[in-house]
Chains A and B, each alone.
Chain A
Amino acid sequence: MIMEDTFAKTEIHKPENIVYKKTDLMVDRPLSYCPGCGHGTAHRMLMEVIEEMNIQDKTIGVSPVGCSVLAYDFLNIDMLGAAHGRAPALATAIKRMWPNHFVFTYQGDGDLAAIGTAETIHACNRGENITIIFINNGIYGMTGGQMAPTTLPGMRSSTSPYGRDVATMGHPLKITELVAHLPGVYYVTRQAVHTPNHVRKTKKALRKAFELQKENKGLSFIEIVSNCNSGWKMTPVQSNKWMEDNMFPFYQLGDIKVDGKLVEKKEIAGKE
């Protein structure tokens, strides 16, 4: 607090000196997410892109079932809530009725890769001109940390308390790589939002997806590997470290499909 005087002298606290502030497209109310959860950062980057493109009045979002079911309370744009997993179907209808609007879904891995697998794959395969934002935290966060299709081998959850045993519980589903192979899908990337650089890259990816939607290029699919510190039973900082050590080797970050072409395997392959 001793520093306060020095700062006041520089008169730095003027509107013209603001270099970062939460966008007004985030509704000014506390987010319902747990402390440290990546959902909040993902929301904010999405809204920054919509603000910068000045498409607030022409954007319609579809929120899922999961922790981010309440996204419509936080994102200051038109939103609809879909039944569990059905967001891509609803987004399809919206986009076809309002082809000049920007339409996106925002879905967790339980929503998108479990109950909504059919809707996800078919919307992708039809090449709907929408943007799918997929928050993969490897778990069902909202309902208490149950195993999801994306849960890592050996990863503990409330329904795999001794760790996911692939012999009985199957392998984790890399649905992002799966949809990348469908011809209707134009842009696929996997990003994160836990460090400043990752946040910047995610924002760029979101911007690219919305620009492509403007050009009617087909479906863009952006996965954001994120934490669920509550479900993982860790502090937020621990969960981000755990994510880097365990999630990233399996869910490798980077572009998977660009301009309708799969990125060469060697570029995305790393330690697995």
Chain B
Amino acid sequence: MAKIKGDIVINTERCKGCEVCLAACPFTVIAMSKEVNSKGYHFAMKVNGECTGCTNCALVCPDGVITVYRAKVTTE
């Protein structure tokens, strides 16, 4: 069966930890890291596989650090 699957890649070094993307994701794909990046910010990270590639998080990220992928995948 063909299914739409999404994924995000976050440039964690450029993330400022504002958490605006968290609220924008309808599937709670994003959470904040315990670690910090070199600027000292807790960064956003993907925590589950529910992403549909809706682009909501990337649209609201003020620093534009999220890249979104979407593809049709076939599952058994």
Contacts and interface: CB of A to CB of B under 8 A. Distances in A.
A241 to B, nearest CB: 9
A235 interface: yes
What DSSP secondary structure best describes chain B's contact surface?
mixed
Contact of B49 (A7, A20, A30): A7
Interface in B16-32: 16-20, 22-24
B56 interface: yes
Interface string B44-65: 0010110001111011111111
B69 A17 contact: yes
A35 B41 contact: yes
Interface residues of B, number: 36
Interface string A16-60: 011111110010001101111111110010000000000000000
B65 to A, nearest CB: 7
A18 to B, nearest CB: 6
Contact of B67 (A21, A35, A240): A21
Interface residues of A, number: 38
A265 interface: no
A196 B55 CA distance: 8
Interface string A192-204: 0111100110000
A12 B64 contact: no
A31 B71 CA distance: 31
A213 B53 CA distance: 34
A237 interface: yes
A166 to B, nearest CB: 32
A8 to B, nearest CB: 10
Nearest to A42: B62
A18 B69 contact: yes
A7 B46 CA distance: 12
A3 B29 CA distance: 11
Interface string B1-27: 000011101000010111110111000
A221 to B, nearest CB: 23
Contact of A36 (B5, B19, B46, B65): B19
Interface of A: 3, 6-7, 10-14, 17-23, 26, 30-31, 33-41, 44, 193-196, 199-200, 235-237, 240
Given A195-B60, A196-B54, 12 more contacts: A6-B49, A10-B71, A13-B7, A31-B62, A35-B18, A35-B62, A36-B62, A196-B24, A196-B59, A196-B60, A200-B59, A236-B18
